[in-house]
Amino acid sequence: MKILILSHRVPFPQNGGYAIVVANTIKSLVSTGHDVSLVALNAKRHNYESTLPDEDLMGKINYRAYDIDTTVTVLGVAVNLFKKHLSMSTGITTRNLRLY
């Protein structure tokens, strides 16, 4: 069976409970013959270098990590807060809204 695991953070290195559970789950699924793919988000504030657990395991799964920026700005909050209200009441969308 093909199995996709989506993770909100990179589970390597195994330095905590979450990472250990994800790694053990992957090992169990691989050992029972499943085709496992892991997609992880590597948030900027919790950025980890991609240290791989062991080459044998990584050779048996498809692994992809995506770097994302989760920083919050006051301007970004204001735009997201009023975006829906502006487009509903005035027809203004964020495409034609210029921020100065």
Report the distance separating Cα 93 and Cα 86, nearest Å: 7
Q: Residue 100: what pLDDT?
A: 43
In this prediction the pTM is: 0.62
Element (H, E) at 69: none
User: What would the pLDDT profile of 50-71 be if each residue is shown by its tens digit?
Assistant: 555 567 778 889 988 888 877 7
**Beta strand extents in the chain (DSSP E only):** 2-7, 35-43, 62-68
Report the distance separating Cα 47 and Cα 83, nearest Å: 30
Q: Comparing C-alpha atoms, which of 59, 64, 47, 58 is closest to residue 4?
A: 64
